[in-house]
Amino acid sequence: MSPLLELQDITVSFDGFKALNSLNFSIAAGEIRMVIGPNGAGKSTMCDTIIGKVRPQHGKVLFEGREIQKLSEHKIVGLGIGRKFQAPGVLEALTVKENLQIAVRRNKQWYSSLFGRSATHEADDIEQVLNQVGLLEKMDSNASQLSHGEKQWLEIAMVLVQKPKLLLLDEPTAGMTAQETAQTATLLQSLAGEHSVLVIDHDMSFVELLAAPVTVLHMGTLFKQGSLQEIRDDSSVQEIYLGRAKQEGEHARA
């Protein structure tokens, strides 16, 4: 089966620094994938490149077999790729429902032409997604009244309501309680099959809860892939993390 998304020999340079260095990566339809790596490994740059925010100097980004690295962000989103950033970007003065209505309207032109959704169908979609993320009972509450974790779920819902084939989630559990983190893992597991989900996160307890295949990036390239246990047992991966932690500790003491 062909991958849903494939990065082929992607290189991205900033002032001579290679944030991505001949990176090859793929994710299948319906798959959940964790992407980890030390700070500066290229994780966020990879997502920026997928979504069209950053242009690679070399290589191809293929989505459903189509080259997309030269398309605008809007067109890439329209093809079915949605991204949630680390910090919640909800509009706190609006209700939960209104935030989702705005999310739908951002892509109204392509959304309507492809799916022909009426206002009634859109309302049904919004309720379905809110139920999926556990916020249906708070549909008419102002977003400002939500907890930090609930705001993260609302932003995931704002991506889901656009019906993406691929979700890019950048540290979706940042600032969450242990209970909220566990609920987020359950939520993302429920999306597998219907959506592909690429998750960047530093929280190894969340990585363990999600129980998904893991890709390790280091110095802008793919360093290791496998199950969480395989990654944990790999001495070279341990060296990357422990070595970086040791360097930072020595720098702090200097």
pLDDT single digits (tens) 228-249:
999 989 999 988 876 554 444 4
How much is the pLDDT for 185?
95
Question: pLDDT band at residue 118, thresholds of 50, 70 and 90?
Answer: low
How much is the pLDDT for 253?
41
Segment among 97-111, 125-139, 189-203 with least mean pLDDT: 97-111
Domains and CATH numbers, the chain: 31-53+72-253 (3.40.50.300)
The pTM score is 0.86
How much is the pLDDT for 141?
96
Q: Which residue would you say has higher pLDDT here, 248 or 206?
A: 206
pLDDT in tens, 17-63: 999 999 999 999 999 999 999 888 999 999 999 999 999 999 999 99
How much is the pLDDT for 241?
76
How much is the pLDDT for 131?
95
Q: Is the pLDDT of residue 94 over 60?
A: yes
Element (H, E) at 54: none
Return the half-sphere exposure (C-beta side, CA atoms, 13 A cut-off) of residue 174.
Answer: 14
Question: pLDDT band at residue 104, thresholds of 50, 70 and 90?
Answer: confident
- Average predicted confidence (pLDDT) for the chain: 87
Report the share of the chain in percent with pLDDT over 70.
88
Q: Is the pLDDT of residue 84 over 50?
A: yes
Mean pLDDT of the 89-111 span:
79
How far, in Å, CA of 80 to CA of 95, rounded? 25
DSSP string, 73-126: HHHHHHHTEEEE-SS----TTSBHHHHHHHHHHHTHHHHHHHH---HHHHHHHH
How much is the pLDDT for 113?
38
Exposure class string for 99-128: b at 16+ Cβ within 10 A, else e: bbbebbeebeeebeeeeebeeeebeebbee
Segment among 21-25, 64-68, 100-104, 119-123 with least mean pLDDT: 119-123
pLDDT in tens, 132-148: 999 999 999 999 999 99
Segment among 119-123, 170-174, 230-234 with least mean pLDDT: 119-123
